[in-house]
């Protein structure tokens, strides 16, 4: 009987201890849970933000939207610290708890957040991967160096890393390009890239676009050797910098091809400008001087017959199509006669070319 009483007493003690622990947990956990839920669902507005935000890779747009940049390799904890520091969330520990409960990884990129926003909505945005795409328009005739600046200004990748990738021998070799850079093979177009996009992928995307466009322009191009293609891209890059009116581009391509056939110097001012701006790194000249035409460079088509060593810019569809389908004429010269419209006069001999200079209105 005594043993049975002791057993009952021990059971009661265990039950009472369990109940006391349960009550204590309820007293602690319920308020904490309620507080957590309230914090997760509490919203923040722009008046609660702590400035400046830029140092934490969080920016306020003119519209009031918030741009949050999640850096490559960054943890959810470090993001939570930045969000708390700038006032977008009230408590980073609640953020960390939410990340653990959800068990979803935040994704690298730049995100646009509309206020007011809760911790839950911020977390949902950063794990969604729905980052902002950065738009960049590369105009026809732009050089690789200027292209790099446009890429950097659009927030895609740094100009330095872009140029490094555009000069990467492995990338160049993968396309079979017989040059030292991708100059001329990155198609001028409008692109949408994520922010902080890898420079090698940026270059490859633009190069893939170039070869796709070439296949569209010249479906039988697979029969063309890489040497032939390279020569056409070089010539197209010159035509790109010379023509002003699209209908004249095939005529210019025909003129240059006629000169190449008779080993006559191309005498393209565009190649001299390329030397001055891209090789010598000088400002774009307003006019070319006679001394400029004598610059010792393999790119100077005034003193070296034949094509320059590599493209001088990114040719677009008009210039590429002009070289693929040049006008068949006897023209060997062309001269700008109407600077306003960009119209040129084409001639077969030097005397006509000189007389064409008299067609230019005085004062222009």
**Residues 149 and 111 grouped into a single domain:** no
**Residues 307 and 255 grouped into a single domain:** yes
Task: Give CA 162 to chain center in angstroms.
Answer: 9
**Residues 121 and 70 grouped into a single domain:** yes
Q: Show the domain range for 28.
A: 8-37
pLDDT tens digits along 136-188: 999 999 999 999 999 999 989 999 999 999 999 999 999 999 999 999 999 99
Report yes or no on 352 lying in a domain. no
**Residues 139 and 103 grouped into a single domain:** no
Q: By the 8 A CB rule, do 42 and 33 touch? A: no
Report yes or no on 325 lying in a domain. yes
Report yes or no on 348 lying in a domain. no
pLDDT tens digits along 88-122: 888 899 899 999 988 888 888 888 888 888 999 99
Report yes or no on 103 lying in a domain. yes
pLDDT tens digits along 268-290: 999 999 999 999 999 999 888 99
**Residues 210 and 169 grouped into a single domain:** yes
Angle between helices 249-261 and 317-324 (to 10 degrees): 50
Q: How many domains does the chain have?
A: 4
pLDDT tens digits along 122-136: 999 999 988 888 899
Beta bridge partners of 335: 345
Beta bridge partners of 111: 68
How far, in Å, CA of 119 to CA of 125, rounded?
10
């Amino acid at each position: 009987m005594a043993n049975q009483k002791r057993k009952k007493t021990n059971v009661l003690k265990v039950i009472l201890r369990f109940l006391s622990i349960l009550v204590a947990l309820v007293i602690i956990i319920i308020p904490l849970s309620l507080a957590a839920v309230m914090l997760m669902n509490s919203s923040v507005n722009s008046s609660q933000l702590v400035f400046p935000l830029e140092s934490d890779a969080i920016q306020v747009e003119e519209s009031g939207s918030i741009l949050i940049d999640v850096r490559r390799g960054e943890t959810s904890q470090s993001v939570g610290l930045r969000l708390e520091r700038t006032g977008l969330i009230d408590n980073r520990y609640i953020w960390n708890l939410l990340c653990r409960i959800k068990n979803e990884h935040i994704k690298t990129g730049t995100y646009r957040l509309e206020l007011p926003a809760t911790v839950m909505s911020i977390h949902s945005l950063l794990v969604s991967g729905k980052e902002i795409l950065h738009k960049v328009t590369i105009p026809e005739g732009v050089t690789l160096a200027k292209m790099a600046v446009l890429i950097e200004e659009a927030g895609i990748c740094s100009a330095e890393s872009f140029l490094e990738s555009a000069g990467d021998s492995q990338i160049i070799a993968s396309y079979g390009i017989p040059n030292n850079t991708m100059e001329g093979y990155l198609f001028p177009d409008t692109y949408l890239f994520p922010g902080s996009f890898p420079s090698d992928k940026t270059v490859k995307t633009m190069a893939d676009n170039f070869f796709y466009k070439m296949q569209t322009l010249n479906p039988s191009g697979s029969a063309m050797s890489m040497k032939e293609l390279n020569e056409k891209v070089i010539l197209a890059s010159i035509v790109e910098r010379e023509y002003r009116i699209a209908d004249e581009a095939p005529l210019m391509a025909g003129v240059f091809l006629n000169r190449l056939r008779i080993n006559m110097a191309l005498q393209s001012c565009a190649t001299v400008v390329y030397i001055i701006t891209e090789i010598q790194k000088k400002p774009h000249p307003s006019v070319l001087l006679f001394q400029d035409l004598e610059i010792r460079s393999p790119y100077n088509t005034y003193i070296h017959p034949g094509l320059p060593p590599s493209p001088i810019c990114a040719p677009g569809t008009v210039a590429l199509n002009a070289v693929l389908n040049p006008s068949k004429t006897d023209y060997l010269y062309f001269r700008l006669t109407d600077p306003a419209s960009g119209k040129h006069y084409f001639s077969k001999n030097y005397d006509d070319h000189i007389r064409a200079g008299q067609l230019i209105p005085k004062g222009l």
